Structure 1
Amino acid sequence: MTSPETRPDIFDRTLRARRRDRMMPRFADHDFLYRLMRDELLDRLTDVQRDLPEALVIGCPDGSARAALEAMDKRVACVDPAFLAARGAGGVQGDEDALPFADNSFDLIIACGTLDSVNDLPGALILMRRVLRPDGLMLAAFAAAGSLSTLKAALLAAEGDRPAQHVHPQIDVRAAGDLLARAGFAMPVADGETLTIRYGDIVRLMHDLRHMGAGNVLASRPPALGRDTLMRAAAHFADAADPDGRTAEQMAILYLSGWKPDASQAAPARRGSARVSLAEALKAKPQT
């Protein structure tokens, strides 16, 4: 069996960092998915009845998550796969499956928008649990299975008998819940939502993906699309349009939460179940 040290990377780490750096100058014009995930994670955090004073933000393209946590009187560190993003948020560059922090360093981790392109997701989750202190909380959000279904169908049709993989492999809710439990998190929860975005043409969709850092960074990615293939894909994309001429695309967002085990907690859920309600897992405040 191939060991973790020799297993080939799924994603090109260097290209991933370079494309995240390249997105930075125009990210604010294409950050709607990041803002959606960030705001949802922060909203879920407000239901937690614990101080969690030391926080780590993983994925910090604009510094907004750090600012929001500091406004909650938390001390915040940031890490991002890209140099410019990390520097802009006053953080450090690093990959999620090789976090440069000691065990038991943080009470809270907010991981926003990057775990869909990390090479070793199980290893990243284990590391996040390790750098948390006992009874610390991890909240994460990233693109999941079901995303970009219209784009994938258009590219598949355009390439005919020799299709290539242009969209990253994606994880679903059930698999994510199992990974959380296997990584050792207590009270694991995996849930999601699907966002519909309507585009006038395929080029605008690709433009958004490029400037939010969501382009193809697979280590085995195919050559760039040729003009003829792109034109056929554009035609297939347009054929799926609604009567107003705009085509609906789907982005599925997966949300994860889990606590580092501590003796004060209730017994953890059975491995792979991940069906405890979010209100219970986050210990929501009672309604008044």
Structure 2
Amino acid sequence: MERHQVFDRALLLKRRLRALRQHGSSADFLLGRAADDLEERLSAVERRFDVAVDLAGHSGLGAQALLRSGKVESIFRVEHDSSFLDRSFPGVVADEEALPLKAGSIDLIISLLSLHLTNDTPGTLLQIRRALKPDGLFLGAMAGENTLGELRECLLAAESEIYGGASPRVAPFADVRDVGALLQRAGFTLPVTDIETYTVRYDTAFHLMRDLRAMGMQNVLLGRSRKPMSRRFFARVAEIYAERFSDPDRRIRATFSFIWMSGWAAHESQQKPLKPGSAKAKLADFLTSVENLKKK
């Protein structure tokens, strides 16, 4: 059965390549923050990894964080185009939705801010889990549902006001509970998800949209409107943004939400959930204690 397609992946790659040519690493601050968070999270993992893969990081910042951690022996990168690779780390060109990794071959796979733009995220997570050795770790971050919520609201308001209707202009980002369910569905053990939210301030909405272009993060939804937007439309977006989401100094706020996820490939040494009825404390005892407390 053919899976429903949400994103124009060819257009996404084209825009990322154009952003790389025109802007280089000037707008990599979100990836930089994610890489720093990755290094901190990895420091809490009490083990070393022989082979690690930085999956679709586009900048190499994830691989550099792995190197700084001192916990990885060999680091490889997988990128959608050779333009994203350099001589710092060996790499291979492949789409993250079709991983060229042998089953049970990798100790650690990381993914920073790319999985939210895959059409088959469950299938990609399944491929990641299969590529891990037993007791291998996946650690990644993807954009969460609150990301660019302010911009989404202003785009919808301006388009409804000017054109009498609205089309999707900001990608639908995932909820943290859905991501946890996807990890379980892909067969990861000990899955964990949490959210980190960052607020970035800009002089105007035009400065925010300029950064998004420099990241190659314009609208790549297959259901997007092909109708060109006028200067009047974008001017109105900026006005609404300033009215609704500006601080006393008149700078605007933009929210970026990272859903962090981790999961392990199954191994007999891992902690197992207790069997039903094996707990030493009885639920009835707890309830009785609660009732006693209420009476005091």
Partners of 2:32 and 2:4 lie apart in 1 by 32
Residue of structure 1 in register with 2:179 after alignment: 176
Query: Which secondary structure does the structure 2 equivalent of 1:7 belong to?
Result: coil
Compute the displacement of 1:213 (Å).
Answer: 2.5
Query: Alignment identity in percent?
Result: 38
**Aligned equivalent of 1:239:** 243
**SS of equivalent to 2:153:** helix
- Larger Rg belongs to: 2
Q: Secondary structure at the match of 1:266?
A: coil
Measure, in 2, the Cα distance between the counterparts of 1:143 and 1:154.
Answer: 19
Aligned-residue Cα RMSD (Å) equals 1.9
Q: Secondary structure at the match of 2:255?
A: strand
> What is the correspondence of 1:86-235 to structure 2 with a 5 Å cutoff?
86=85, 90-160=90-160, 161-223=164-226, 224-235=228-239
Q: 1:234 to 1:38 in 2, by over 3 A?
A: same
Any idea what the Cα deviations from partners look like across 1:147-198, whole Å, max 9, x if unmatched? 1111111111111131111101110111111111111000000101111111
Query: What SS class does the counterpart of residue 193 from structure 2 fall into?
Result: strand
Q: 1:67 aligns with which of 64, 83, 88?
A: 64
Structure 2 partner of 1:12? 8
SS in structure 2 opposite 1:28?
Answer: coil
Calculate the TM-score normalised by the size of structure 1: 0.87
SS across alignment from 1:29:
coil
Are 1:12 and 1:218, in contact at CA under 8 Å, matched by a contact in 2?
Answer: yes
Deviation at residue 87 of structure 1 after TM alignment: 5.2
Conserved 8 A contact 1:201-1:234: yes
**What is the count of residue pairs matched by the alignment?**
266
Gapped regions of structure 2 (runs ≥ 5): 276-296
Gaps of 5+ in 1: 271-288
The 1:269–1:182 alpha-carbon spacing in structure 2 relative to 1, beyond 3 Å, is farther
Please give the per-residue CA displacement for 1:81-114, whole angstroms capped at 9, x wherever unaligned.
Answer: 3331135654222222211111111000010110
User: For residues 82 and 8 of structure 1, do their structure 2 counterparts lie closer, same or farther at Cα, with a shift above 3 Å needed?
Assistant: farther
Corresponding residue SS for 1:159: helix
Does structure 2 retain, via aligned residues, the 8 Å contact 1:186–1:269?
no
Structure 2 CA distance for aligned equivalents of residues 202 and 221 of structure 1 = 20
Post-superposition CA distance 1:100-158 (Å, at most 9, x none): 11111100001011011011111111000000000000000121101111111111111
